[in-house]
Amino acid sequence: MSPTRLWFGLGTGRCGTNSLAHLLDSQPGATVTHETVPVLPWTLDRAAIDARIAALRARGSRFAGDVALSYLPYAEYLLDEHPDTRLLVLRRDRDETVQSYERLAGGRNHFARHTADSWRADPQWDPCYPDYDEPNLRCALIRYWNEYSERAEDLAASHPTRVKVADVPEALSTASGVRDLLTYLGVPPGEQIVRTDIHRNRGPDMAARVKRTIAHRLRRHARDDEQ
């Protein structure tokens, strides 16, 4: 069996990462999850990313991956240490992304230091975002989108065959966009499952993510038993 190739999906969040994970997981020989718990912190944690990579390779699939917003700070490490890695960054319109986050906020500002009573701390998700110490949520979100996009573009310019920035909704809602993503990731054209009907949209619910992770592991074990 040839070695597992690694796929990592990235994006600011509220940009289609859940849909991307389901699209990639539907490809032959691929096992791809969305926001595998624990979601990695924004501050580079080499032990955590090494453990994540080991777990992905242990799936024994031809392609294995995970999709989450906080892989961006790990991009250079992944590219340097694992030549079989491909990074795919989804990018949604900035205003749409900001407005979606604002609707989902529920009193949270992941970018503030929570030293005041104006924002509700979220111990599960706050560490997954950069800490701007910015009390104005809209200002923080605009800065976040700008910096995320700039870093992604720089990565794609430096590693054009290993990092791709794809604009949504076109990348996920058109057949040509989906084929372009799958071809970049190395799925042979004759094996590609082109789907434009996947529209997953959810907030960061930890209990639901744990259940999905367990279900995915059980499904993988069932596949192994059939082989």
- Per the structure, the complete domain to which residue 84 belongs is given by 5-93+159-226
Domain annotation covers residue 130:
no
68 — pLDDT class (breaks 50, 70, 90): very high
Residue 30, beta-bridge partner list: 63
Give yes or no for a contact between 93 and 14, defined as CB atoms under 8 angstroms apart: no
Domain annotation covers residue 73:
yes
198 — pLDDT class (breaks 50, 70, 90): confident
115 — pLDDT class (breaks 50, 70, 90): low
Domain annotation covers residue 147:
no
Domain annotation covers residue 11:
yes
Give the CATH number for residue 27.
Answer: 3.40.50.300
Number of helices and strands in the chain (H, E): 8, 5
79's tokens: 């590219």
Predicted local distance difference test score (pLDDT) of residue 199: 78
pLDDT surpasses 70 at 66? yes
Domain annotation covers residue 211:
yes
Domain annotation covers residue 89:
yes
Give yes or no for a contact between 67 and 8, defined as CB atoms under 8 angstroms apart: yes
Domain annotation covers residue 56:
yes
Domain annotation covers residue 138:
no
Percent of the chain with pLDDT over 70: 85
Residues 6 or more apart from 9 whose CB is under 8 A from it?
17, 20, 21, 24, 32, 65, 66, 67, 68, 71, 87, 88, 89, 90
Digit-coded pLDDT (tens) for 86-110: 999 999 999 999 999 999 999 999 9
Predicted local distance difference test score (pLDDT) of residue 223: 47
**Number of domains the chain contains:** 1
